[in-house]
Amino acid sequence: MRTLVISEKPSVAISISKVLGATKKKDGYYEGNGYKVSWCVGHLIQMANPDSYDEKYAKWNIEDLPIIPSEYKYEIMKPTKKQFVILKKLMNDKEIDTVINACDAGREGESIFRLVYLQASCKKKMKRLWISSMEDSAIKDGFENLKDGKDYDNLFESAQARAIADWLVGMNISRLYSCLYKQNYSVGRVQTPTLAMIVKRDDEINNFKKEKYYTVELELDGFTLSTERIDSLEVAEQLKNLLENRIEIADVIQKEKVTKPDLPFDLTTLQRECNKYFGYSAKQTLDYAQSLYEKKLITYPRTDSRYLTTDMITSTINNILGQNDFDIQRIKVIFNSSKVTDHHAIIPTVSSMSEHLSSIPESEAKVYRLISNKLHASVGYPLIENTTKIVATFDGFEFTSSGKVIVEEGFTKYLREYKSKRKEESVLPYVNVGNVLEIKEKEIKEKYTEPPKHFTENTLLKAMELAGCNVILNKFPDRENTMIGSKGVYLSGGEKQRIAIARAMLKKSKIVIMDEASASIDPDNEYELQKAFKNLMKDKTVIMIAHRMSSIRSVDEILVLDNGEIIERGSDQELISQGGKYKELLELYDSANQWRVKDEEIL
């Protein structure tokens, strides 16, 4: 008898097959040494659309809401149907007595495998491979300690609950708002709260009214004293004129500031810091991290934990931290198994210690070094600074100056190359309370209040993290971004197009050419695209080439071509009123939309 191993991605299947000795390549799987190793290519099964329950749901009517099936249906995704057929055949092969779920060790990985297992009507014994690293040693250890598949039933149920919640919110509320407002709207459990944060911030910026204010600054020997905000220029001028050439120090406040190091990375914090330091987008960071993972240089990147398990202490200290000085108290904080669920924090692998980074792209090397430096910093000693605040008072106004001196660099020595470029606080001279100091220069500074800043990928990810969305994002195979193109086969046509349109919006180009942007999508995805088109067209010249009439009806000007020549031009309503070729095409399109397949079984 043989054992079937199913991973989430082909690259993972290759690594597993090499460790197991299943190196003979077949169509859609590897074979050898008593094993067959295949893969899922991400999601192969998806929840069915409403019209699969009842044909009436093909047309959106508010009277049909809410749509709450008594039992949920699932369907095979067309782009990856071939791989599903291969898996189904392997699962039901009489030679196979055990199926090992080697999909990603998490909720979504569990769902990907189980849906295929159920759709294939497989009844074979099920085992679970649970690993957080693609190193050969981790794979071997995982196969020596396989879990019973039933131990993860609750994990699968939680994934199903999440998927059903997404379906109910997306299908019902999107239809509700689209019907109410007579245009297509997309509402989602994750996307809508995220969009709300952006809209709220933009409203704050648009409604912001700049206010002028003043400060009075006194130049002394080696430092500057300044007031807080003064709204009246007249008051500021009176204060300046009343001041003589000397001022007495009223207070000197000195404190020791102790800053503890941050935790190692989860994916969200890695994406934020890569955006901050290198300008990488969230997708770029995920791509680089995924590549490093597949090269066995870092541990599993799509994690929401920033802690390590206690059984990793010895190996991490001996093989990764090495002779570098570390704080034993931080070891106790970082290595905490109770705070690790699916995967631990992102750290370098043991095998990466013997690798030369010169062989990988510089972009990936930067991400690797940041992950490594972050780990070393996380177990480092605190940063200790002496802070000083000098205070002088006059006529009820307080003048202050602040500075600091680093006493112990601590963990920050590992992060020197990422040091913020912002202006450092000055080192203040030594003064005592009661000292009367000479004022060298008095000046009124005119300043303005500033609006909130627009979200960057860094700040948006931070806001989403604070809102609790980072855990939700981890349910996606590639979080908020997914690879499109030849390797993005697990995406539907509509999903691929929407991602491409989102990237086009981020480019902020003045002119965008969209060639068949609505091609290969199903009608249920079209409203998502229409919303994206509407957003894309703002403040841009968009040239849209389309075969689908609904894609172009809202544009400013339509050009109708026949044999390479423009035969009609105008808006949708103008061309309809002309009664020409455009109207004829539109009538044919509307007629085609009324076609229905008879209720007969199609083989």
| Residues identified as active-site | 300
What's the distance, Cα to Cα, between the start and end of the chain in Å? 34
Locate all alpha helices (DSSP H) within 435-571, ordered by sequence: 457-466, 469-473, 493-507, 523-536
For the residues of 471-493, what is the DSSP string, one character each? HHHTTSTTTT----STT-TTS-H
Query: By three-state DSSP, how is residue 348 classified?
Result: strand
Task: Give the whole-angstrom CA distance, residue 434 versus residue 409.
Answer: 33
Task: Give the Cα-Cα-Cα angle 344, 347, 349 (nearest 5 degrees).
Answer: 110
Give the helix ranges, DSSP H, for 352-405: 362-378
- Name the DSSP letter for residue 560: E
Contact, 132 vs 299, CB < 8 A?
Answer: yes
Neighbours of 111 (CB within 10 A): 22
**Rounded Cα–Cα distance for residues 53 and 74 (Å):** 11
DSSP 594: T
CA distances, 413 to each of 370, 383, 406 (Å): 13, 9, 12
- The Cα–Cα gap between 198 and 506 comes to 14
Closest to 555 in 3D by CA, of 565, 567, 577, 570 = 570
Task: Give yes or no for a contact between 403 and 385, defined as CB atoms under 8 angstroms apart.
Answer: no
In angstroms, the Cα distances linking 377 to 52, 260, 303, 548 are: 54, 10, 20, 55
Residues 6+ apart with CB under 8 A from 240: 216, 442, 443, 444
DSSP conformational letter for 171: I
